[in-house]
Amino acid sequence: MARLAGKVAILTGGAGGIGAATAELFAEEGAKVALVDIDATALAEVAARIRAVVPGAEILEIARDVGQEASAATIVAETLSAFGRLDILVNNAGIRSYEPLDEAKAETWQKILSVNLLSYAYLAREALPALRQAGKGAIVNISSTHAFNPRGGMGQYDVAKAGIISMTKTLAFEEADRGVRVNAVCPGLTLTPFHVRRFAPQGKSEQDLRTEKVDHNIQRRWADPREVAWPILWLASDEASFMTASVIMADGGTRV
């Protein structure tokens, strides 16, 4: 039997990279997926691709800005209306800013925190009643290795990712008696479309990045997004029934 058969999942940041790979894997494993992203065009492309490669996949496209608090209730309501239940929430949405902290603007802080941290809190809050009712609800929050290994120049992003870890553990403690597990995954260097675009001006193709040796981790390579989707799947499934308040490093052995 498929590992997520009969389950319904909300997955944010679903229009590319780790989110798209996770949605496809969830669909392969039998889940109905509410796929959320602000980019409606990219979202439609991902949903169409999943339907093409996974026969019978049930994907609900929800184009919303998760940085707006009101979006959380709408996303949950649309999912329940379409699928009748909710078992899994994967908070994956994220944006970046390249500002050293001594230059960080208030508006940048607000944007980063609203998407990368507060959207996780708001969606969890709105999803919890349905997750509790499901009986074996699971939340998986996507953080980053940089929650533990911050670097210069991306302080706002790294601070938000560290906040996700704290929020994950706190929520796990609060929800343990209500049957909802809450865990986090910290991806390392992952070859998402964002990075492919970022390196294109340097003359590096996606294939170049896939084959190059890097010093970031002891495996000396980039992860494919699907390699990060696998631990997300496991934490979301009943196989991880004794896992809560845990953090999995999917990072190839990141060097400190």
Catalytic residue, candidates 114, 143, 144, 237: 143
Is residue 97 among the annotated active site residues?
Answer: no
C-beta of residue 245 within 8 angstroms of C-beta of residue 169: yes
Per DSSP bridges, beta strands 88-91 and 138-142 are parallel
Catalytic residue, candidates 32, 119, 120, 161: 161
- What would the two tokens of residue 193 be? 């479309």
Residue spans of beta strands (DSSP E) within 64-192? 88-91, 138-142, 181-187
Catalytic residue, candidates 7, 32, 144, 157: 157
Q: Which residues of 132-167 are buried (b: 16+ CB within 10 A; e: fewer)?
A: eebeebbbbbbbbbbbbebeeebbbbbbbbbbbbeb
CA distances from 251 to 15, 87, 149, 186, 213 (A): 22, 27, 12, 7, 15
User: What share of residues in the chain are helix, strand, coil (percent, to 5)?
Assistant: 50, 15, 35
C-beta of residue 252 within 8 angstroms of C-beta of residue 217: yes
C-beta of residue 143 within 8 angstroms of C-beta of residue 116: no
Closest listed residue to residue 65, CA positions, set 87, 44, 101, 40: 40
Is residue 111 among the annotated active site residues?
Answer: no
In one-letter notation, the amino acid at residue 29 is E
Residue 13: DSSP 8-state: S
Is residue 122 among the annotated active site residues?
Answer: no
Active-site residue set = 143, 157, 161
